[in-house]
Structure 1
């Protein structure tokens, strides 16, 4: 069933903390918040964009580092400091003319719940909270910050025959 749903995906919406990071935040003496991101997630995000997918980031976090990271990967819509993710996401879907069935949302905690209940494919990392796991169509074997985005993006692209191995190899 999940594979059929993944074939319809055209848009991927990602939370940040607990999905693209492990949820830990290092706060410097100056008050800056530092996070680590998985480079394999980053590669999958930029590759999916090159394959024609729209990827949006909607997070409660407010960090210039997050903005810069995802702009650098080619994400065109990044929303920081959002407490009502459903309102933002539904506005995006209207603007880009996506149906809910065409949307995959990756989230890990209660601020993601409303979006995940509505979309065609709801995905959670293995360390997501139980309420989120219960409504997810797919629970990655990876924890937040350890390749969740790569896992589901690669699966989606492979099922849609958009993960091209020949792009990654060169002839000798």
Structure 2
């Protein structure tokens, strides 16, 4: 039922990087140098559904963009760590505040700053176009590239295994 070789019934929380995971690896820049990131609509639906179903959903990113914060807050995500210089520090804050155990958490990353957090969680996942070092430690490599449905792929598989994918909650925004 799932391409992920992990007991997905354990999963209670999802954590995502932005650049290269929820957004494409290449970005346009505005006239003032602000990165203009992409957002996948199917990812947005899956993220919002996970929040509505009571899963923990967090963002840990080194970036700092008001548009990113607005987008993901509009989907119901409250745990958004921006300007994360050392992602492990924000991960430790997240588990301390929420009480989730590492084996209950999926972390999806694509590059070296994600490495330590990916080593700490139960289910580290990489986007298809992730750095070699990240793919080497991932327990699952999504067939999707960053910004092209990685979150949807991962969340859908978990919700299907847990019997929540086509629940009544799934039929609305």
TM-score, normalised relative to structure 1: 0.93
Stretches of structure 1 that go unaligned for 5 or more consecutive residues are none
Residues 1-10 or 115-124, more deviating = 1-10
RMSD: 1.7
Q: Does 1:84 align with 2:86?
A: yes
Preserved CA contact (<8 Å) 2:49 2:170: no
Stretches of structure 2 that go unaligned for 5 or more consecutive residues are none
Counterpart for residue 136 of structure 2: 134
Q: Does 1:34 align with 2:36?
A: yes
Equivalent runs, 1:17-32 vs 2, <5 Å: 17-32=19-34
Counterpart for residue 98 of structure 2: 96
Preserved CA contact (<8 Å) 1:108 1:129: yes
Structure 1 runs of 4+ off > 3 angstroms?
Answer: 1-4, 165-170
Within the candidate set 70, 75, 85, 2:77 is matched to: 75
Counterpart for residue 147 of structure 1: 149
How many equivalent pairs are there? 170
TM-score, normalised relative to structure 2: 0.93
CA distance in 2 between counterparts of 1:106 and 1:32 reads 24
